Chain A
Amino acid sequence: MTTSPSPYLRLTTVDAATTVRIEVNGDLDYDSAPHLLAVVTGKLAERPDLKDLHLHCAGLGAIDSIGLSALLMIHRHTSTAGVRLHLEHRTARLERLLAITGTLDHLTTVTTGDANAPADTAQAKPRTNATPARLTGPDSTA
C-alpha cells in the first residue's frame, strides 16, 4: 500500500492479485489531474498482469473539465491495456458531471481491447461501445 501525498489530492494505492484499487481523496482539477494520470499510467506499465483498476471516488471533491479529461484518458489507457476500469462510489457531483457531459456510459461501460481509441487507430477493431444506448456492463457502483 502506497500513498502519494499532494496538497489537494491524496491517492492511496492498494495492490491485489490482478487488481489495483486507487482511493481518490480531494479535488481532481487543473493542478492535480496530471498526478492521477501519472500514477495510473505508472501502475499500468508496472503491472502487465492487471485485469481490473478500481478508482474509489467516495473522497473525490471538486472535479473540473481537466479532471474529467484525465478520467477519459485513463479509460483510454486501460482499454488499450485490456484492463477493466471501475469508477466506484461515485459522488453525486461526479455522477452529475458524467451525466451532463454524456460520458457516464462510456466511462462505466467496461470494455477490453482498444475499442475506444480514436477512430483513426480503431478502424479495424470491433467496437463494443459504439452504440449510444445505455449499456449495462459490469459496472461496480455498489
Chain B
Amino acid sequence: MVSPEAHSDSTTEPGSPWDGAPYPVLLTDVQGMVVLSNAAAAVLLPAARPGARLKDVAPAWLSAAHDVLRTPGLEASRPLSGVMGARSFEAHPSVQADGSVVWWLVDDTDHRLVREALTVERERTAFLAEASNMLLSSLNLGRCMGVTAQLAAEYLADAALVVAPSRGRRMPVVTSLRGASPTTKHEAADPNDVPGLSEALRGFPPVPSRWIDPGGAPRWMVPEDFGPVGSIVITPLPGHGVPAGALILLRRSDTMAFTQNEEVFAQLFAARAGAAMSAARLYAEQAAITDVLMQELLPPTLHQICGIDFAGGYRPSADHERVGGDFYDVHPAAVEGEASLVALGDVCGKGLEAAVLTGKIRNTLQALLPMADDHQRMISLLNTALLTSHHTRFATLVLASAVRNGSDVELRLTSAGHPPPLILRKNGTVEEADTSGTLVGALPHATARTAALTLSPGESCVLYTDGITEAKGGLTGDSQFGEDRLKRALGQCGGMPAESIVEHVQMLAAQWVGHRPHDDMAVVVIAAPRTHHLTAVSGHTRGRFTS
C-alpha cells in the first residue's frame, strides 16, 4: 500500500497542504497537463511531474476519464477505477471553478479482492446447494454417479470420472466430458495401477486428494478425443462409514492447473457427492434385500388344480418400507385323488421379523405336508416349531384341504386362531365354517377343531385375513369394513368364478379404505367349478357378474 506519508522529491513545495492528504492527489489543468502532484502521488506515478501531459504519464483509464470529464454532458457519475502497477485505484475527480481537476486516487485493491472472493464463494455456495439438491433428489446409485460426474465436469474440470468400488473384477466408471452427457462403463482395470486410486476407493483412512502424472494415466481414465491432459487430481468420495468411490478430475493442458483453493472446493463437493452416493448404495442394498425376501414371500399365482378352482389376491400394506405379514400357499395333492392343502395366515407384527416368521411357517408347513390329512397334528407341530422363550410373536392361520368328489368338493377347514372361512352357498346364503382353535407360536399347546363340509358346483369357500374386515374407511373414515359387510358383499357373489370373487372383495375393500393406510389384505377362494351346463343365469342365483 502506498503510504500517504511517503516523501519524495519536491513535486510540491515541502510543507504543502496536499502532502498531508491521506491519498495520492493530482491536479490537472483544462488541457490535461499535470499542475501538481503530492508526495503520495509522486510515489505512485513518478513521471507525473508538473508540466507533464496526463496522457503520457498516467494509465490510459485515468487519462480517458479526464477526457470524459472535460466533455460537457458526459459527467462521470461514479468513481472510475483501474490498475496502477500491482494495485488498483478508484479515481474521484473534483472539478474546480477554473476548469482544473483535482484527482483523488483511493487504493481499493483489498476491497476489490474481498469483493471478488465473496462473488466466488457465493457462486460456490450456490453450486454446492444445487449439487446437494440434484444429488439428494435421487436414491438411484447410477444416477447419483452420473450427476456427480456431470456437475464436476461442468464446474470443476474439463472432464470428470466417478469410480465406484468394484464388485468382482470390474470397476464401474462414469465418465463425463463438459457439455456431454455421462457414460457408464465397467472397466476391467486394477485400481492399484493408479497411484492414490485404491486408497481413495478404500475410503479409510481418509486420504487427501492426489495429483498424478498425466503421462502415467491409464487409457481408460482419459476420455476419447480429450486431447493432451494437463493435470489430474484424484479425490476420495467419503461415504457414511463405507467408501463411496473416487472422483477423478482432468484438465486439458491449455487449461489452468488446479489451484489449492480449487482442490479444497473439490473436496467439499466430493463430501456431498460421497454422502449422496453412499445413501443411494445403502438404499439399493436394502431394496435388494427386501426384493429377495418379497420374491420368496410373494404368494403364488393360483389356478385350477385337480378339478378345483383356486384364486388368490394379496394387497400389501401401503407402507413400502415393510414386508407384509399375510401369506397364502396352495400345495397340490401329491397323489391323484388326495386332497390339496391351502394355507392362509397372518403373522403378528410388521417388517423383517414378521417376514422371517412367515418364511418359517411356510417352510414348516411344507415339511409337514405328509400329514396334511391331520390338521390338528400339523397345527400342534407347527406351534412347537415356532415356540420360543424370547418372544410371543404368533401367527393365525387357516388350513383347508380340498378334494374333488364327483362334481362336489369335499373340504376340511381348520382355523388356528384365525377368522373362520366363509362359505357361499348356491342359494346366496353365506355361512361361517364351524372351526376354531388357538393361534400358533405363543402358547405351550395349540389345539383346533376342524370343520368338514361339501361344496356343490358353483359354491365356494372364502379364506381371508383381518386386513379386509378391519380395513378402516367408509363415510367417516373411521369405521371398519367388518364381517357383516363382507358377508353381505359375498352374498352378491353367488355363482361367480373364484377369480371374480377375489377381485370383487379386493375392489370393495380398496374402495372402502380409499387413500387411507391399511394393513395387508389377503383373500383366497376355493370353488367347486360348474361342471356341465351354464347356470350363471339360471335364475337360481342372482347371476350378477360385476367384474
Q: Is A122 an interface residue (CB 8 A)?
A: yes
Q: Report A-chain residues with C-beta under 8 Å of the C-beta of B444.
A: 115-119, 122, 127, 129-130
Q: Report B-chain residues with C-beta under 8 Å of the C-beta of A70.
A: 392
Closest CB of chain B to A113's CB: distance in Å? 12
Instruction: Tell me the residues in window 42-97 of chain A with beta carbons closer than 8 Å to chain B beta carbons.
Output: 65-66, 68-70, 72-73, 76
Q: Is B384 an interface residue (CB 8 A)?
A: yes
Closest CB of chain A to B485's CB: distance in Å? 16
**B387, B389, B442, most chain A CB atoms within 10 A:** B442
Contact present for A103 and B387 (CB under 8 Å):
no
Contact present for B442 and A72 (CB under 8 Å):
yes
**A65, A72, A99, most chain B CB atoms within 10 A:** A65
Q: Is A101 an interface residue (CB 8 A)?
A: yes
Closest CB of chain A to B319's CB: distance in Å? 11
Contact present for B438 and A101 (CB under 8 Å):
yes
What's the Cα separation between A76 and B394 when bound, in Å? 14
Contact present for A69 and B389 (CB under 8 Å):
no
Q: Is B418 an interface residue (CB 8 A)?
A: yes
Contact present for A69 and B443 (CB under 8 Å):
no
What's the Cα separation between A43 and B153 when bound, in Å? 64
Q: Is B202 an interface residue (CB 8 A)?
A: no
Across the interface, name the chain A residue whose C-beta is closest to B351. Answer: A30
Q: Report A-chain residues with C-beta under 8 Å of the C-beta of B499.
A: none
What's the Cα separation between A118 and B393 when bound, in Å? 12
Q: Is A100 an interface residue (CB 8 A)?
A: yes
Contact present for A102 and B439 (CB under 8 Å):
yes
Interface residues in chain B, defined as those with a beta carbon under 8 Å from any beta carbon in chain A: 325, 346-350, 384, 387-389, 391-394, 396, 416-419, 436-439, 442-448
Q: List 27 A-B contacts (CB under 8 A).
A: A30-B350, A65-B325, A65-B348, A65-B394, A66-B348, A66-B349, A69-B349, A69-B391, A72-B392, A72-B443, A73-B391, A73-B392, A100-B396, A100-B417, A100-B418, A100-B436, A101-B396, A102-B417, A102-B438, A102-B447, A102-B448, A116-B444, A118-B389, A120-B389, A121-B389, A132-B445, A132-B447
Contact present for B436 and A102 (CB under 8 Å):
yes
Q: Report A-chain residues with C-beta under 8 Å of the C-beta of B347.
A: 65
Q: Is A106 an interface residue (CB 8 A)?
A: yes
A102: which of B348, B387, B391, B416 is its contact (CB, 8 Å)? B416
In the A-B complex, list the 8 residue pairs whose CB atoms are closest, starting with the nearest.
A102-B438, A65-B348, A101-B417, A72-B392, A132-B447, A73-B392, A101-B439, A118-B389
What's the Cα separation between A115 and B437 when bound, in Å? 20
Contact present for B438 and A132 (CB under 8 Å):
yes
What's the Cα separation between A126 and B527 when bound, in Å? 46
Q: How many chain A residues touch the partner (CB < 8 A)? A: 27
Contact present for B391 and A118 (CB under 8 Å):
no
Interface residues in chain A, defined as those with a beta carbon under 8 Å from any beta carbon in chain B: 30, 65-66, 68-70, 72-73, 76, 99-103, 106, 115-122, 127, 129-130, 132
Contact present for B389 and A117 (CB under 8 Å):
yes
Closest CB of chain A to B214's CB: distance in Å? 59
Tell me the dominant secondary structure on chain A's binding face.
helix
Closest CB of chain B to A89's CB: distance in Å? 22
What's the Cα separation between A127 and B418 when bound, in Å? 25
What's the Cα separation between A117 and B394 when bound, in Å? 15
**A70, A76, A102, A119, most chain B CB atoms within 10 A:** A102
What's the Cα separation between A127 and B444 when bound, in Å? 9
Closest CB of chain A to B265's CB: distance in Å? 45
What's the Cα separation between A117 and B442 when bound, in Å? 9
Contact present for A118 and B387 (CB under 8 Å):
yes
What's the Cα separation between A69 and B443 when bound, in Å? 10
Q: Report B-chain residues with C-beta under 8 Å of the C-beta of A102.
A: 416-417, 436-439, 446-448
Across the interface, name the chain B residue whose C-beta is closest to A106. Answer: B443
What's the Cα separation between A33 and B393 when bound, in Å? 12
A103: which of B346, B350, B393, B438 is its contact (CB, 8 Å)? B438
Given A100-B396, A106-B438, 5 further pairs, Cβ under 8 A? A69-B442, A100-B419, A101-B418, A102-B436, A119-B384
Q: Report B-chain residues with C-beta under 8 Å of the C-beta of A100.
A: 396, 417-419, 436
Q: Report B-chain residues with C-beta under 8 Å of the C-beta of A106.
A: 438, 443
Closest CB of chain A to B8's CB: distance in Å? 82
Contact present for B349 and A30 (CB under 8 Å):
yes
What's the Cα separation between A94 and B176 when bound, in Å? 63
Q: Report B-chain residues with C-beta under 8 Å of the C-beta of A66.
A: 348-349
Closest CB of chain B to A11's CB: distance in Å? 19
Q: Report A-chain residues with C-beta under 8 Å of the C-beta of B325.
A: 65
Q: Report A-chain residues with C-beta under 8 Å of the C-beta of B446.
A: 102
Q: Report A-chain residues with C-beta under 8 Å of the C-beta of B389.
A: 117-118, 120-121
Across the interface, name the chain A residue whose C-beta is closest to B395. Answer: A65
Closest CB of chain B to A119's CB: distance in Å? 5
What's the Cα separation between A44 and B445 when bound, in Å? 25
Across the interface, name the chain B residue whose C-beta is closest to A132. Answer: B447
What's the Cα separation between A122 and B448 when bound, in Å? 22
Q: Report A-chain residues with C-beta under 8 Å of the C-beta of B349.
A: 30, 65-66, 69
What's the Cα separation between A127 and B437 when bound, in Å? 19
Closest CB of chain B to A123's CB: distance in Å? 10
**A68, A100, A101, A132, most chain B CB atoms within 10 A:** A101
Q: Report B-chain residues with C-beta under 8 Å of the C-beta of A69.
A: 348-349, 391-394, 442
Contact present for A76 and B392 (CB under 8 Å):
yes
